[in-house]
Structure 1
Amino acid sequence: MKLSPNEIRDICELLQKGKPLPEKYRFLLFGDKRELELVWDGKTDETTSVVLPFQTIEHIDEPRSEKEIKLQQQLFDTAGRQVKGWADKLIWGDNKLIMSSLLYGPLRDEIEAQGGIKLIYIDPPFDVGADFSINLEIGGEEFKKEPSVIEEIAYRDTWGRGADSFLSMIYERLQLMRDLLAEDGSIYVHCDWRVSTHLRLILDELFGNDNHQNEIIWHFVKGASGDDRFGRKHQTIYWYKKSQDGQIFNREAIGVPYSAETLARARRGEARYQVSAEVLEEKGKNPGDVWSDIHPLQGNSIENTGYGTQKPEALLERIIKASSNEGDLVADFFCGAGTTLAVAEKLGRKWIGSDLGRYAIHTSRKRLIDVQRQLKKDGKQYRAFEILNLGVYERQEFVRVDGDIRAEERERIRAEKERKFKEMVLQAYKAEAVQSFRNFVGKKRDRLVAVGPLELPVSQALVEAIVEECRDKGISKADVLGFDFEMGIDFAELRKGGVDVQPKLIPRDVFDKRAIEKGQVKFYDLAFVDAQVTVKGNTVAVELKDFSVFYEQDGIERAEEKLKAGSSRAVIENGQVVKVAMDKDSDIVTREVLTKKWSDWIDYWAVDFDYESKKEVVRDEDGVEEWTGRYIFENEWQSFRTKKNRDLDLTSAFRELPKGRHKIAVKVIDIFGNDTTKVMEVKV
């Protein structure tokens, strides 16, 4: 490093004035040897290393045949369910925290035992103007589900400052993905014209230009066109390998047919063809880096789940076949509708998938159960999979603050944001603030009030801490307010301990100051489920008897204001989905309730006939196993709606149980992907 006297003088003056140094001094002072780098406001090389415990919510495994049980007795129990070996992971939560916990936590050893992650495919949210609502079918009508508040906040963090926010989000996550990959692993990053230029530079920086394998063009035969530009008819997929140690590329697994003309020339023995037409026909040709033979998903496709950004299975099949082998571990940390996971399962790969959207996890769950059923029908092997939460969230993740602020200032801003948020919620809930409690911040009449985090679901650990504080201090009634709740929290079971703990959903209106001032903000109870157990000899079955929800979205009067002649809109008010329509000729507005039966709200339900048979055991960083005190829901029977078949069985099949007392758990998931669990005791 050699600075001129003028440069030294300028640096001193700028530092004395508290001003930032010009960009050129980064290279002069620190000798950065990178020839080319993308720089944006907020860029930092820091990545999170937080390790949070995973909570296993559900274990899903279609029972095997008696023949398969006998062949592999060490892997399966007497019911044909997997008890040993790798179980695939479907994880709900922020993928940054998920990947950090996979990278630095005890699950890393389990991943390494599988040979590490050989392939990562991601299709991140690269469209700044994308509509993340989801179209659902209710009573033969289409209803648009808006994203949850937590999903909206995550999207705001991704695109709040435009490209700068997106680049900060993806840069940190790509670093974590790079570190998770095996040395011979590959990553495929799907994008389009909006961010392709930026992503190429970032990937070159993180993986090295020497490790860039292909820029794949996925070309659409049909696509958007315009009068002022050429039609945009392609998306880009960047393929990078982890290191120079090599990568998997199965050329023969992805061959595409030669043209009839080429095969005819080979049969005629033309000199340019060194092999026979039969060999050419069997192996096929390299598909190249422009893929026009794979078409985007059509609305009437049997694959279509209704998820907006869903990709065709053929696209993932080519990528997975090319860059992994049977038995390898592949991952998708923006899994959406679960296409990567479904194709990986069909091709005999192990997998890890994650998404922030609860509905995405639910869509993937149903799809993967269908894959298990089909593989069983075809006599092929499949693995069990688990649904996991990030069980406990550290406080510093509750309210995010820009990373370029000093630690003390960051903590002060975070604490202030958290305080104001809870004040706002208490005001909307018409509760008064209280002090001197570990978990409670308010009181409404004779009930104490706890408020969950702004950006994360209320965790089971938080609810258990609230109940414990109630018992310690002789409190009998408590409300827990949250935008969302972790899957699998059984409030009815918790109430049996003598504390009346009631969960309440915080509505979107809590951010509307006018609604708060007018006292118009309504908080809603979680869903209610009623079920009945029938015992016949040593067998039992479960029948759903009732299900109630208390959501609101839009509201009828607000929808009527937005209607145009001949249009309609579905809204939720007072726990009912209502279609509001305006006649195209008379402007008369009509209302029709679409949820005519309580079962219309149910998308999926499942039964665990022996709920306390599978304990949730976690390993700490030293490898020591410990029971958490909770049980894992084993999905032993289920019925759910698909796009093709909207029917739902409301009575389960009978299941044989040993004599004695058993706890049966019923899990119901509504049309928005929210789950409710009920546990019942039965004597056989």
Structure 2
Amino acid sequence: MAKQDKKAYDLSEAEQRDLVTLLQQGKALPEKYRFILFEDKREVELVWNGKTRDVCMTVLPFQTLEHIDEPRAETKTQGDLFDSRGRQQKGWANKLIWGDNKLILSSLKSGALRRQIEDAGGLKLIYIDPPFDVGADFSMDIEIGGETFHKEPNLLEQIAYRDTWGRGADSFISMIYERLILMRDLLAVDGSIYVHCDWRVNSFIRQVLDEVFGKSCYRNEIRWKRQPPRGAKAIARQYAKSSDTILYYSRGDQYCWNPQFKEYNREYIKSKFVHRDRDGRIYRIDAIGDYSDKSIAEFRERGRIYDYPSGKVGLIRYLDEAKGEAITDIWIDVAEVNSQAIEGTGYATQKPERLLERIINASSNPGDLIADFFCGSGTTAAIAEKLGRKWIATDLGKFGIHTTRKRLIGVQRVLKAASKDFRAFEVLNLGRYERQAYLNVGGRLTSAQKAQALAQKENEFRELILRAYKATGFGGSEGLPAQDGFFHGARNGRLVVIGPINLPVGRLFVEEVITECRKRGASRVDVLAFEFEMGLFPAVLEEARSKGIDLAPKYIPAEVFDKRAVDKGQVVFHDISFVEATPRYEKKNKLAVRIELTDFSVYYTQGTAEAAIAAMKEGKSEVMCEQGQLYKVSKNKDGIITKERLTKQWTDWVDYWAVDFDYMSRREIIKVPVGTGHNGVASLPGLEAQQGEMALPQFEERWTGGYIFENEWQSFRTRQNRDLELTTALHTYDRPGRYTVAVKVIDIFGNDTMTLVPMNVG
């Protein structure tokens, strides 16, 4: 009898009748029958609602937003690794990636960057600190005008949080399970992973890691006792919670391990180093370990072997030779980040540098590649750079990416001042290609069918954008005529047009908008776009105004991809910001110039001020953002409201600015799988390493039509230093000619704006 028949035969007649009835009714079978009817050697398995072993297989090209490198003064000994300016141009550049780490992981695993990862020696270590706190607060406190502004998390972060905890533990486990599978497949065969969590999810994550990596790859469960400043608070009717869990697994049996030690304390020395030789030196006797007979003989010749009466031997270890007390899986010597600490960034979940230093030293070697896919404020990347490791760091939060960028520039500056090596790093994202993936049309279709399907998708996408903008399509309640082929809708008496989905809105498109408005006798129009061509504004707005057109350009936020956010009316379209920068030429040297930041304007409103004021308690104050200004709003005991404007000058909005003195010198080149469409979007099966060789598809290089911002000079505020330079250091060009200078400004909310300044030099 076949095995399956035997299993069925073992069922009682009543059980067999129940099974038949359930199958006829199309109902799910009770869980116990899965183990009776089917072979499954796993003794224990974590099961949750919606569990699937399917993982993301979308492969997108990475868009390079910025290349950051503190120029070296002396590079003659480095061959062709650096250019004439002392900037790294070859070799591995570290990666700081903004976006959804699920898409990032699948694109790293099977995309063109996988080859770079393998050429860099493979990914040797992953540390992650996922958002395990069901009550986590992703808001930030921003200092402004001597006050603190409470910045709420952006909608993308809120959506990600909702995806993570929307169904409680089920959704968290689903999120982390898929990502851990992708991380395992990306990790080198001799790599390791550390997962930081606490009492809320440590039991779940332990089971997930057992399933993904295998129980045999479990190495340690580390208990980290959080020291003051936060410390442990007394809790009624239970023990105070004062520790986190760090789960440590390897990819396989071979992995990097460097034992870690801490300095002996006096009590330990007294208890262990109890012997003293004739010269007065203190020593202890250790087990002989796995030394060879030859080594033991050498130790004996040097008088380092102790003979016990029983015939056993031990190794004499003097105090000044010992490395220290071996680190165990209980870590009580690493304090949390003090609010006044130099390393502090203001992130509530920031982990101390000493914690990451221990992990990185233990499970990697100098030159190894490590990664953190929930990087937050960038502690892992900062310590990796200091310890001479290559790194990849990713985060969904734009503000987190900005904080990490500033932190890593600071690390570069310190290493440069100390004449130590450091690497350039790139800021990447999937933005443009994520939109293209949304519109990608697959399947075996004719050219006509594909064009029709694409047109339908674009129409559906535009309808979604109009709903998010709370605009009405033509023929709706605005009383406007049917669609006339150009404008897409209207809101509050203003026409609405949506720019190209895959391209930046440029001058020609805006001029066409102005022409179409004049044809229809319309005087007010909103232009919605994901990207606007740099240098387009404010000149185009002045041109429109001169022709009687009130034109308002607005950014379409990435949140429009989430239909739940659209349905709830939570999507906010921001007005564009304006940057003004002026070149200051040197009189004595015609090739030398400085760039001065001369103006920056924004228009932000966060929430409804009236509702926030009404909810405010008497005797309290709060900082609010309204119509491009920050105000401190106070309510006294009598309920009287007073408002004090905090942003007294435009520089208060600037957190960071940087300059590329020759913007169009470096084209943005992407690598896409051979045979993919013009947008480079592909969906490929997961590719595993076989016998140490990668079975990757062939890639070809394509110029995107854009350029990479090479960060040559920057000034930014830190928590310790709020000053901001408004004029760059002197820059000298090699030869006279026409140059395009790019100036990038990042405001206190983490949003960036760039403008181009054409110049004639010489």
Q: If the length of structure 2 is used for normalisation, what is the TM-score?
A: 0.79
Q: Which moved more, 1:269-278 or 1:573-582?
A: 269-278
Q: Contact (CA 8 Å) 1:439, 1:466: kept in 2 or not?
A: no
- Superposed CA deviations along residues 351-370 of structure 1, whole A, max 9, x for unmatched, are 00100000000000000000
Instruction: Please say if residues 468 and 566 of structure 2, whose CA atoms lie closer than 8 Å, have aligned partners that are also in contact.
Output: no
Aligned to 1:503: 554
- Within a 5 Å distance, the mapping from 1:430-449 to structure 2 comes to 441-443=488-490, 447-449=495-497
Deviation at 1:415, TM superposition (A): 11
- Residue 466 (structure 1) shift: 9.2
Correspondence list, 1:266-305, <5 A: 268=276, 269=282, 272-273=285-286, 274-281=315-322, 283-305=323-345
Partner of 1:113: 119
Is 1:209 the counterpart of 2:215? The answer is yes
How far off its partner does 1:464 sit?
A: 3.5
Structure-1 separation of matches of 2:635 and 2:180: 48
Q: The residue matched to 1:620 in structure 2 has which SS?
A: strand
Q: CA deviation at 1:418?
A: 6.4
Partner of 2:69: 61
2:613 maps to what in 1?
560
Cα distance, 1:628 vs structure 2: 1.2
SS in 2 for 1:32: coil
1:355 corresponds in structure 2 to 395
Per-residue Cα deviation, 1:286-322 (whole angstroms, up to 9, x for no partner)? 2100100001111111111111211110000000000
Match of 1:671 among 720, 745, 748: 748
In structure 2, C-alpha distance between the alignment counterparts of 1:350 and 1:507, rounded to whole Å: 30
2:576 is equivalent to residue 526 of structure 1: yes
Give CA-to-partner distance per residue, 1:60-110, whole Å, 9 cap, x none: 0000022xx111031111111001000000000000000000001111111
Deviation track 1:92-133 (CA, whole Å, cap 9, x = no partner) reads: 000000000000111111101111100000000001111111
Q: Is the alpha carbon distance of 1:419 and 1:620 closer, same or farther for their aligned partners in structure 2, counting shifts above 3 Å?
A: closer
SS in structure 1 at match of 2:45: coil
Distance 1:496 1:525, change over 3 A: closer
Structure 1 match to 2:143:
137
Matched to 1:135, the amino acid is: D
Q: Percent identity?
A: 50
- The equivalent residue for 2:670 is 618
Structure-to-structure mapping, 1:86-485, within 5 angstroms:
86-221=92-227, 222-244=231-253, 246-251=254-259, 254-263=260-269, 265=273, 268=276, 269=282, 272-273=285-286, 274-281=315-322, 283-390=323-430, 391-393=432-434, 421-422=464-465, 424-428=467-471, 441-443=488-490, 447-450=495-498, 462-464=502-504, 479=526, 481=528
For 1:596-615, list aligned pairs within 5 A: 596-615=648-667
State the alpha-carbon separation in 1 of the partners of residues 122 and 130 from structure 2: 22
CA contact (8 A) 1:606 1:667 kept: yes
Query: Match for residue 77 of structure 2?
Result: 71
- Partner SS state of residue 337, structure 1: coil
Query: What secondary structure, in the 3-state scheme, does the structure 2 residue paired with 1:492 have?
Result: coil
Q: Return closer, same or farther for 1:279/1:271 CA change in 2, 3 Å cut-off.
A: closer
The one-letter amino acid of 1:341's match is A
| 2:415 counterpart letter in structure 1 | L
Determine the C-alpha separation between the residues in 2 that align with 1:325 and 1:504: 44
Partner of 2:451: none
Once the two structures are TM-superposed, the CA of residue 41 in structure 1 deviates from its matched residue by 0.5
The corresponding residue for 1:633 is: 709
Letter in 1 for 2:498: A
CA apart distance, 1:424: 2.8
Q: Structure 1 residue 136: deviation in Å?
A: 0.6
Do structure 1's residue 652 and structure 2's residue 728 form an aligned pair? yes
Note the C-alpha offset of 1:436.
Answer: 8.4
> For residues 44 and 564 of structure 1, do their structure 2 counterparts lie closer, same or farther at Cα, with a shift above 3 Å needed?
same
Distance in 2, Cα, partners of 1:288 & 1:365: 34
Letter in 2 for 1:65: A
Shift of 1:528: 1.2
Question: How far does the alpha carbon of each residue in 1:413-445 deviate from its partner, in whole angstroms, 9 at most, with x for none?
Answer: x99996874453353578767998999753567
1:610 Cα deviation from its structure 2 partner: 0.2
SS of residue matched to 2:58: coil
Distance (whole Å) between structure 2 residues aligned to residue 120 and residue 439 of structure 1: 50
One-letter identity of the residue aligned with 1:21:
L
For the pair 1:492 / 2:536, whether they are aligned, the reply is yes
Pair 1:46 & 2:86 matched: no
For 1:442, the aligned partner's letter is G
Kept after mapping to 1: 8 A contact 2:98/2:397: yes
Q: Who wins on radius of gyration, i.e. which is larger? A: 2
Whichever residue aligns with residue 757 of structure 2, its letter is M
SS class of match (2:745):
strand
In 1: Cα distance, 2:205 partner to 2:380 partner: 21
Worse-superposed segment, 46-55 or 562-571:
562-571
What is the aligned counterpart of 1:550 among 603, 614, 631?
Answer: 603
* TM-aligned CA distance change 1:466 to 1:325, over 3 Å: same
Kindly indicate whether residue 8 of structure 2 is the aligned counterpart of residue 3 of structure 1.
Answer: yes
Alpha-carbon distance change, 569 to 471 in structure 1, aligned in 2, over 3 angstroms: closer
Aligned CA distance change for structure 1 residues 507 and 96 (closer, same or farther; 3 Å): closer
The one-letter amino acid paired with 2:317 is S
Query: Which amino acid in structure 1 is aligned with residue 643 of structure 2?
Result: R
Residues 556, 580 of structure 1: 8 Å contact kept? no
* Normalised TM-score (structure 1): 0.87
Mapped partners of 2:670, 2:604: distance in 1: 35
1:376 aligned partner, one-letter code:
K
Three-state SS of the structure 1 residue aligned to 2:124 is strand
**Structure-2 change in CA distance of 1:476 and 1:65 (3 Å):** farther
Of 15, 26, 35, the residue aligned with 1:27 is 35
Q: One-letter code of the match for 2:747?
A: D
Count how many residue pairs are aligned between Structure 1 and Structure 2. 650
Conserved in 2, the CA contact under 8 Å of 1:667 and 1:677? Answer: yes
* Matched-pair contact (CA < 8 Å) for 1:555–1:571: no
**Closer, same or farther in 2 for the Cα pair 1:331/1:263, shift >3 Å?**
same
For the aligned residue pairs, the C-alpha RMSD in angstroms reads: 3.5
Q: CA deviation at 1:186?
A: 0.3
Answer whether contact 1:481 1:506 (CA < 8 A) is retained. Answer: no
CA contact (8 A) 1:507 1:522 kept: no
Q: Could you report, residue by residue, the CA deviation over 1:486-530 in whole angstroms, capped at 9, with x for unpaired residues?
A: 7x96362899899989334679999999998xxx99854121111
Deviates more, 1:262-271 or 1:323-332: 262-271
CA distance in 1, matches of 2:203, 2:62: 36
Give me the whole-angstrom Cα distance separating, in 2, the residues matched to 1:361 and 1:59: 14
> 1:36, CA displacement in angstroms?
0.6
CA contact (8 A) 2:592 2:730 kept: yes
Between the aligned partners of 2:224 and 2:578, the Cα distance in structure 1 is: 46
Letter matched to residue 239 of structure 2 = F
Moved more, 471-480 or 386-395: 471-480
- Report the CA distance between 1:632 and its aligned residue: 0.2
Q: Which moved more, 1:649-658 or 1:662-671?
A: 649-658
CA contact (8 A) 2:662 2:739 kept: yes
- What is the rounded CA distance, in whole Å, between the counterparts of 1:196 and 1:45 in structure 2? 21
Any conservation in 2 of the 1:151–1:357 contact (CA below 8 Å)?
A: yes
Q: Is the 8 A contact 1:94 1:355 kept in 2?
A: yes
Q: Which amino acid aligns with 1:681?
A: P
Name whichever of 432-441 and 534-543 sits farther off: 432-441
Q: Tell whether the 8 Å contact from 1:530 to 1:545 is kept in structure 2 after alignment.
A: yes
